[in-house]
Chain A
Amino acid sequence: MSQSLPFKNAVDADTYQTFQTLLYKEARLLDHEEYDQWLAMLTDDIHYYMPVPARYLREEKKQAIKPLDANIFNDYKKQLELRIARFATNLVWSENPQNLINHSVSNIEVFPTDVEGEWNVLSVVTVLRSRLDGVEKRMVVSRNDIWRIEDNSLKLAKRNMLFNHAVVPDSNLNFFF
Chain B
Amino acid sequence: MGVDVSKLVDNKTGRQSRSIFHEQDIYEQEQERIFGKCWLFLAHESQIPDPGDYFRTFMGEDEVLVIRQKDQSIKAFLNTCTHRGNRVCKADKGNAKHFTCSYHGWSFAADGALQSVPLEEDAYYNELDKSKFGLHPVCNVDSYKGLIFGNFDPEAPTLNDYLGDMKWYLDVWLDAMPEGTELIGTTQKVEYPVNWKLPVENACGDGYHIGWAHAGVMTVASSMNIESLSLGNTEVDSSTAMAGGGMNGHSIISSLDGQSGYAFYPDPSLPVSYLEENREAVISRLGETRGKQFWGSQINMTVFPNVQMLPGLNWFRVYHPKGPGKMEMWTWAMVDKEMSDELKQTVLDNVCRTFGAAGMFDNDDGENFAACTSQNRGLQTRQKDVYTNMGLGKEYSHPEMPGVISDGLVGEQNQRYFYRRWQEMMAAKDWSAVPNYNSLEEANATGGQN
**Using a CB–CB distance below 8 Å, which chain A residues touch chain B?**
50-57, 60-63, 67-75, 78-79, 82-83, 85-87, 89-94, 132, 166-169, 171-174
**Using a CB–CB distance below 8 Å, which chain B residues touch chain A?**
90-96, 184-194, 213, 215-217, 219-221, 266, 328, 331-333, 341, 344-345, 348-349, 351-353, 356-358, 360, 362-364, 366-370
Q: A56-B93, A71-B349 are in contact. Are A168 and B191 (CB under 8 A)?
A: yes
Which of A89, A90, A167 neighbours the largest number of chain B CB atoms within 10 Å of its CB?
Answer: A167
- Option from A56, A74, A87, A167 in Cβ contact (under 8 Å) with B352: A74
Q: A71-B356, A72-B357, A172-B366 are in contact. Are A87 and B216 (CB under 8 A)?
A: yes
* B95 lies within 8 A of A60 (CB): yes
Q: How far is the CB of B314 from chain A (nearest CB, A)?
A: 12
Q: A62-B94, A86-B220 are in contact. Are A68 and B185 (CB under 8 A)?
A: yes
Chain A residues in 8 Å Cβ range of B366: 94, 171-172
* A172 lies within 8 A of B94 (CB): no
Q: How far is the CB of A127 from chain B (nearest CB, A)?
A: 13
Q: Apart from A53-B186, A57-B91, A172-B366, what are 11 other A-B pairs with CB-CB below 8 Å?
A: A50-B358, A52-B186, A52-B357, A55-B91, A69-B185, A70-B184, A74-B352, A87-B216, A168-B188, A171-B190, A172-B358
A154 to B332, CA, bound (A): 37
Chain A residues in 8 Å Cβ range of B93: 54, 56, 62
* A171 lies within 8 A of B193 (CB): yes
Q: A55-B91, A60-B94, A82-B221 are in contact. Are A68 and B345 (CB under 8 A)?
A: yes
A68 to B344, CA, bound (A): 8
Which of B95, B189, B344 neighbours the largest number of chain A CB atoms within 10 Å of its CB?
Answer: B189
Q: In the complex, which residue of chain A has the Cβ closest to the Cβ of B328?
A: A167
- Option from A50, A70, A78, A171 in Cβ contact (under 8 Å) with B348: A70
* B216 lies within 8 A of A86 (CB): yes
Q: A82-B221, A89-B219 are in contact. Are A55 and B92 (CB under 8 A)?
A: yes
* A172 lies within 8 A of B186 (CB): no
